[in-house]
Amino acid sequence: MADDPQRNFRSAYYEKVGFRGVEEKKSLEILLKDNPLDLEKLSTFSQRFPLPSMYRIHVWKVLLGVLPPHSDSHSLVGGYRKEQYQDIVESLENDENEDFLAIARAMEEIVDDPVDCYWLIKCFINQFHNKFGDSLPHLPKSLEHYLSLEEPRLLNHLRSIGALPQLPYSLWFKRCFAGCLPESSLQRVWDKVISGSCKILVFVALEILLSYKIMLIGNTRPEGVVKFLCNIPQENTEAIVSKAIDLWQKYCGNPNHAV
């Protein structure tokens, strides 16, 4: 994680999702005292309220089943547990699991501490689905619209060879480019998503198409187009994201424009 305060992903995200107050302290203390291993209540509580940092480790360990009842909340528990995301996975539809796991793997590369990583993933997924769930199905059409303005020739080519409906929309929009962009570039995109704009995803996809338009226009097989777009070169992604942000600001104007 970079030390630059302008790109401190975790600090900005903690503030955004509300990890700063202690209003729920008494409620959580009562809950843990009453039944520390009541996973259903703990999961419900953690979804309804932002948790003060001193309790996030405790709840995370209890949810994993690695913290005995009435034990010290600051005791150390070593070792990585794949089960740490089970409660999140259970809240998703079956076809959303792979998208979630891709985001989780990318977040693990960004965030070193497993407790921080768990809460960041949980809140990112919750916010993304709750705030943008209704908008996601419309993003492919939005991409088509902006591509018609920026490069109609490329749009017509993709449409004529049958590649347009096969573009990797799930990778781009449902996974927020996890598995497509390297983590250094991904952080910049996710910063915009967290700040309230899922439409940045459209402009990143748009800039990818524009950056490789010569290669794409030269390809007459839709499967070749899709294969390339799922495995774009990694050395140019910083420039792609920077240009995508410029396009986003050009068309949306308001940095808080969400959809």
Please report the pLDDT score of residue 97 as a whole number. Answer: 75
Model-level pTM greater than 0.75? no
Please report the pLDDT score of residue 194 as a whole number. Answer: 92
Q: Of the CATH numbers 1.10.3720.10, 1.10.472.80, 3.40.50.720, 2.30.40.10, which one belongs to the domain with range 136-252?
A: 1.10.472.80
Segments of the chain with pLDDT less than 70:
1-95, 254-259
Please report the pLDDT score of residue 148 as a whole number. Answer: 98
> What's the CA angle centered on 222, arms 138 and 245, to 5 degrees?
45
First and final C-alpha spacing in the chain: 29
* Sequence ranges of the domains in the chain: 5-132, 136-252
Please report the pLDDT score of residue 63 as a whole number. Answer: 52
Q: CA quadruple 96, 101, 103, 104: dihedral positive or negative?
A: positive
What gap in Å lies between CA 59 and CA 128, rounded to an integer? 22
Please report the pLDDT score of residue 226 as a whole number. Answer: 97
The answer to whether the beta carbons of residues 259 and 135 sit under 8 Å apart is yes
CATH architecture for segment(s) 5-132:
Orthogonal Bundle (1.10)
Tens-place pLDDT, residues 52-106: 554 555 555 555 554 444 443 333 223 333 455 665 655 555 567 788 889 988 9
List Cα–Cα distances, 144 to 80, 81, 211, 239, 254, in angstroms.
42, 42, 16, 22, 21
